Amino acid sequence: MILIVDSGSTKCDWISVDENGNQLLEKIRTKGLNPAILKEKKLFKIINKHPDLKKHKLDVSHVYFYGAGCGTEKPRLLLKYVLESIFINALIEVKEDTYAAVRATLNTPNEIAVVCILGTGSNCSYFDGKNLHQRVKSLGYTLMDDASGNYYGKQLIRDYYFNHMPETIRIAFADKYNLDTDFIKYNLYKQPNPNAYLANFAEFMFLNKETKYIKDLIKKGLRLFSENMILQFKEEIKSVPVHFAGSIAHFSKDEILEVAEEYQFKVGNIIRRPIDGLVNYHTNKEA
């Protein structure tokens, strides 16, 4: 049994297949497994809590894990240790989520492209056909992650409290969420995964996307992302496509196309979840 795993900070999708790509179990979903945020004990608990993962852990021969927080060595090795301790018969490969986006969005395995992630967090890399290149090191959701779910969640809350929202939007926002100050601060400063908490608010944008306020908010974030991340590859984007992966990208397709025209880059593929492309990649590789 091969496990192919795509994890953000919010949620984690597991697909089990045989060497021919035939799915063996129903898709498994757990909470996100971000080793840069979660401690070892919590990582173990999330994985072992799911009955199917627990039941079949000895049947697993390979685990291909792609996740947020796996871009630096210490958290990546922590998660690798946790997976090796649970799936003791398996070969374990852990890579940052950018590789999932690359392998799932490219039209051919060796295509040269700029690949972006717009989900709970955000990222941008240049793939030269063999290797990934990043010219900006991420400092995480607090300082970076423009145009991500947690970026938009933070902007919505700020606009609500600074009275920058149109009144009709403000009423709808307050009706949908618990905006008590103590509740918000508790989730931000006392609970794990504050980035995922913030990203939950981003859904509101896509339920009210027809309003000028929301459209402007989406494009503001995309412009920041383009200026700070995509344009680091200013020369490369003259000749290669810019692919996108993630829920924010999926629901912001129209705005991405508009901003791309402003910044003169060509949009390639936009996919919501990389997991299906990863199955094709790994089963073809295994065959």
Could you read off the pLDDT of 144-166 as tens digits, one per residue?
A: 999 999 999 999 999 999 999 99
Could you read off the pLDDT of 95-133 as tens digits, one per residue?
A: 988 899 999 999 888 899 999 999 988 999 999 999 999
- Give the model's pLDDT for residue 286: 42
Q: Where are the domains of the chain?
A: 2-96+274-286
Model pTM above 0.75:
yes
Distance between CA 153 and CA 192 in Å, rounded? 16
Could you read off the pLDDT of 45-104 as tens digits, one per residue?
A: 999 999 999 999 999 999 999 998 898 899 999 999 999 999 999 999 999 888 999 999
E strands of 61-177, at which residues? Answer: 62-67, 91-96, 113-118, 122-127, 132-133
Which superfamily does CATH assign the domain made up of 2-96+274-286 to?
ATPase, nucleotide binding domain (3.30.420.40)
Please, which residues have CB within 8 angstroms of residue 251's CB and are 6 or more apart in sequence? 205, 206, 209
The answer to whether residue 285 scores a pLDDT higher than 80 is no
